[in-house]
Structure 1
Amino acid sequence: MKHPPSPWTFIPTLYFAEGIPNVLIGTVSVIFYKKLGIDNDQITAWTSFLYLPWVIKMFWGPLVDIYSTKRTWILVTQFAMFCCLSLVALSLQLQNFFFISLAALTLGAFISATYDIATDGFYMLALNAEQQAFFVGIRSLFYRLAVLFGSGFLVVLAGRLETSLNNIPLSWTISIGFSAVIFIILFIFHRLILPLPTSDIPSQLESGNIPFWEVIRTYFQQEKIGAIIAFILLYRLGEAMLLKIASLFLLEKIEKGGLGISTEEFGWIYGTFGVLSLIIGGILGGILISRYGLKKCLLPMALALNLPDIFYVYMAYTKPSLQLVYPLVALEQFGYGFGFTAFSVYLMYICRGEYKTSHYAISTGLMALGLMLPGAISGAIQKAVGYPLFFVLVCFLTIPGMISLFFIPLQAEANLPKI
């Protein structure tokens, strides 16, 4: 009897594939639109709305259960992502590239959110309980490596091509096209290697038996639900405003108030050293929460998330040397990774009981909403007040999230998820 393949052969690649579209759609799109001459307010507004599929993915999650297998959904969405990224790459050679590429990225965001649902479901079907516990760190690592690949390697590649080819659109076409090629390779690989779990069959649920409204009702009947929702939406308010503008500020020409960093330098500063710092911060945050508990760590971690935003105020006013930009961005990203860990653990902490998986999907949807709305207006605000005052405003906007910490329910440390 043929043994199923080891999870080592497919879990790393499944979650690497999950991370690539997320970073391309959420982060790298900001960079190539900036390099292609789109205004900041247009970039932040439209790319922020690309988070919408991750906000509302819980609404079509049951369809992934009812129609076809998780394995089939994985393969179909990977091939579809290859098509979307190919379209984005080719569209950059056209006059009306912004509309076409944005439409392709929007479709890609819906495909990526569906892939997330299918992959997480397949993870639970293809692995036993012991394997699931073991590989949770592995899948997180490879997701983060995909972020490093997208915001680091692909951006550095595009930057070097910009220099050698002296053609910005072609440089980004090649870079994004390379990511599309990776997806067709992953599609072929997973078509051959993914196991066929016996439990991976379409659910035979009648639509009336899906407890969707019961899930919603029980979520919003939690103790202090108003404080919880305020916390989810406000904890990263400052960071949500900063997220896209930080990249634009680093790339903006000096005469327009930015630092004038090249695409390749950005790939190293923000996409490589910044992401590595974020990963290290996240790992350290997980270790400290495991040791001391979330209740003791939440306030210090919130401070670590928010206080480094002042580095951007300093950079906007002083225009420091490149050598100083590296550590300042790395420290800000370290604080973000460190503080975000506490946020992630709290989202798991509030999701208990019969519908904990669905409740977690609602929480992560609200989390995405908390990024989407501030990000959508950040460009217009920055354009109105300039970079220095915008970053000062970001610092003030961290205060509501800090205040929300004192109102959320946080008691039973024994119920905290293990990191």
Structure 2
Amino acid sequence: MSAAPKRRLSFRDILTDGRVALMLPLGFSSGLPFLLVFSTLSAWLREAGISRTEIGMLSWVALAYSFKFLWAPIVDRYDVPVLARLLGRRRGWMALSQIVVALGLVGIASSNPQTSLWLTVASALLVAFASATQDVVVDGWRIDVAATERQGMMAASYQLGYRLALICAGAGALYIAEFVNWRSAYIAMTALMVVGIVGTLFAPRADEGAAREHLPIADAIVEPVADLFRRKGLILVPILALIACFRLPDFVAGVMANPLYIDLGFSKADIANVSKLYGVWVGIIGAFAGGLALTRLGLWWTLLIGAAIAASSNLMFAWLALEGARLDLLIATISFDNFAAGFAGSALIAYMSGLTSPGFAATQYALLSSLYALPGKLIGGASGAVVDAYGYPLLFTATASIGIPLVILCFVVRRDTMQTVREKDEKAEAVPAVGAGSRA
């Protein structure tokens, strides 16, 4: 039985819905810290003479993003003193996490990797923990304040803000570091966190009544996992394997790409222009291409294509490492890699969203989004040692080969993916839309 066509959101809906617009500053605030404790920081550390092995290990600070599900129930259940009374639970946690991110960035700016590496690492850990907490709260707020049919546009607005932040934290920070210094670059990034704080102050309060009736903390973690196993059964094993490895090549490339550019002799201006400015816009195009593919080809085909091109894009880095500092090849590498990453990202977000159930949507999404980043962070931490021992070409070729099991896993989960899409469509037809007016 074919489902009746669903009403599509018009541009008028987009322009008049303040919640969609607010995802831009919130997405910006979420995206800004990521590169500042990841690839941008790795460029500063490499220039300061820190070994590639140490840089790879320091990337483990980003593991906070992979374990955020552990404290997500605490964020759901408890209020932030003072801030919750003024702003509400969700916005109180948002404001607190944004303030702590800013403090951590000041700490990085105040450190000197050559003489006080411990301060750099401690501050980066603080930024990563607070940033991961902000992601949990923003996802929870997004799910609470908007009905299901609005979530796609909310996520698209969030992704645009996120990628604009990547331009600032990538190209912007490198430009400032090139023409002033690294300390000024991180101070400037600290000031930009005001964008997210303003978004938080303008955001409407979420429906927080249900949060006060949550399960005990231990059960709040166990129940969402148990729900996934009840609904999916044994097919959940390959599903989780697919999610865990889907972005692994991209994460490894993110750790070692900037050290590769530095070692090949590209200037920070070249890296900023091609990788952090031009590349981000290519990534945005890739994300929208992934969204278009979802509507034209369906979820499974988009997932399959994303898995194949995202992994194979690492072969371009291996080629670049062999050829040397060729600007034309750098442009080609960044073009392929960022388009593939944006395309694959859209596919994975849609896939993980489809796996959640309404009663546990926020916590399950935190669990799944934590899982997809974990293997990449762990292997990325050892990537510097692999480069030191065997060179860049072997690292990137090996990570590209992960695309083979990923494609196989896509075929394994094909039937379940098709069934999940049908079930979501049927539920969307049966459940009436909930507008913002019903959210106090």
Range class of TM-score, shorter chain: 0.7 to 0.9
Which of residues 414, 418, 430 in structure 2 aligns to 1:411?
418
Give the whole-Å Cα distance in 1 for the aligned partners of 2:423 and 2:178.
47
Which of residues 113, 124, 134 in structure 2 aligns to 1:105?
124
- Tell me the equivalent position of 2:190: 180
- Tell me the equivalent position of 2:178: 159
Q: Alpha carbon RMSD of aligned pairs, Å?
A: 2.7
Identity, in percent, stands at 24
Does the C-alpha gap of structure 1 residues 384 and 73 become closer, same or farther in structure 2, counting only changes over 3 Å? same
Paired residues of 2:143 and 2:362 also in contact (CA < 8 A)? no
Alignment of 1:41-120 (within 5 A): 41-47=53-59, 49-68=60-79, 69-92=89-112, 95-120=114-139
Q: CA deviation at 1:234?
A: 2.4
For the pair 1:288 / 2:285, whether they are aligned, the reply is no
Q: CA deviation at 1:122?
A: 3.0
For the pair 1:194 / 2:202, whether they are aligned, the reply is yes
Which of residues 35, 39, 43 in structure 2 aligns to 1:23?
35
Q: CA deviation at 1:6?
A: 4.4
Does the C-alpha gap of structure 1 residues 128 and 332 become closer, same or farther in structure 2, counting only changes over 3 Å? closer
Does the C-alpha gap of structure 1 residues 131 and 356 become closer, same or farther in structure 2, counting only changes over 3 Å? closer
Q: Which moved more, 1:293-302 or 1:142-151?
A: 293-302
Cα deviation 1:296-333 (Å, max 9, x = unaligned): 33333322212232222222222252133212221222
Give the whole-Å Cα distance in 2 for the aligned partners of 1:329 and 1:79.
33
Q: CA deviation at 1:127?
A: 5.2
Paired residues of 1:227 and 1:404 also in contact (CA < 8 A)? yes
Does the C-alpha gap of structure 1 residues 416 and 264 become closer, same or farther in structure 2, counting only changes over 3 Å? farther
- Give the TM-score normalised by the residue count of structure 2: 0.82
- Tell me the equivalent position of 1:247: 258
Give the whole-Å Cα distance in 2 for the aligned partners of 1:346 and 1:132.
14
SS of 1:411 mapped into structure 2: helix
Cα deviation 1:237-295 (Å, max 9, x = unaligned): 3333333112211111xxxxxx2111121111111111111111111011011111122
Give the whole-Å Cα distance in 2 for the aligned partners of 1:50 and 1:11.
26
Does the C-alpha gap of structure 1 residues 317 and 198 become closer, same or farther in structure 2, counting only changes over 3 Å? closer
Give the whole-Å Cα distance in 2 for the aligned partners of 1:44 and 1:184.
30
Cα deviation 1:30-80 (Å, max 9, x = unaligned): 121112111111111121x22222222112112222222112112222222
Q: Which amino acid aligns with 2:202?
A: L
Ranges in structure 2 where 5+ consecutive residues have no aligned partner:
1-16, 80-88, 429-440
Paired residues of 1:234 and 1:404 also in contact (CA < 8 A)? no
For the pair 1:219 / 2:228, whether they are aligned, the reply is yes
- Give the TM-score normalised by the residue count of structure 1: 0.85
Alignment of 1:292-303 (within 5 A): 292-303=297-308
Cα deviation 1:329-370 (Å, max 9, x = unaligned): 212221222233222222223223532332222111111112
Q: CA deviation at 1:84?
A: 1.0
Paired residues of 2:27 and 2:161 also in contact (CA < 8 A)? yes
Give the whole-Å Cα distance in 2 for the aligned partners of 1:398 and 1:127.
36
Q: Which moved more, 1:356-365 or 1:172-181?
A: 356-365
For the pair 1:355 / 2:360, whether they are aligned, the reply is yes
Give the whole-Å Cα distance in 1 for the aligned partners of 2:18 and 2:412.
45
Q: CA deviation at 1:400?
A: 2.5
Which of residues 20, 28, 32 in structure 1 aligns to 2:44?
32
Paired residues of 1:227 and 1:407 also in contact (CA < 8 A)? yes
Paired residues of 1:316 and 1:387 also in contact (CA < 8 A)? yes
Paired residues of 1:23 and 1:151 also in contact (CA < 8 A)? yes
Q: How many residues align?
A: 395
Paired residues of 1:235 and 1:402 also in contact (CA < 8 A)? no
Does the C-alpha gap of structure 1 residues 321 and 7 become closer, same or farther in structure 2, counting only changes over 3 Å? same
Give the whole-Å Cα distance in 1 for the aligned partners of 2:222 and 2:45.
40
Give the whole-Å Cα distance in 2 for the aligned partners of 1:299 and 1:8.
29
Paired residues of 1:351 and 1:359 also in contact (CA < 8 A)? yes
Paired residues of 1:45 and 1:377 also in contact (CA < 8 A)? yes
Give the whole-Å Cα distance in 2 for the aligned partners of 1:384 and 1:67.
48
Give the whole-Å Cα distance in 1 for the aligned partners of 2:245 and 2:196.
37
Ranges in structure 1 where 5+ consecutive residues have no aligned partner:
162-170, 253-258
Q: CA deviation at 1:87?
A: 1.0
Q: Which amino acid aligns with 2:253?
A: L
Give the whole-Å Cα distance in 2 for the aligned partners of 1:195 and 1:52.
29
Paired residues of 2:48 and 2:114 also in contact (CA < 8 A)? no
SS of 1:18 mapped into structure 2: helix
Paired residues of 2:104 and 2:126 also in contact (CA < 8 A)? yes
Give the whole-Å Cα distance in 2 for the aligned partners of 1:269 and 1:276.
10
Does the C-alpha gap of structure 1 residues 391 and 101 become closer, same or farther in structure 2, counting only changes over 3 Å? same
Q: Which amino acid aligns with 1:414?
A: R
Q: Which moved more, 1:62-71 or 1:363-372?
A: 62-71
Give the whole-Å Cα distance in 2 for the aligned partners of 1:112 and 1:396.
31
Paired residues of 1:75 and 1:190 also in contact (CA < 8 A)? no
Paired residues of 1:156 and 1:265 also in contact (CA < 8 A)? no
Q: Which amino acid aligns with 2:185?
A: S
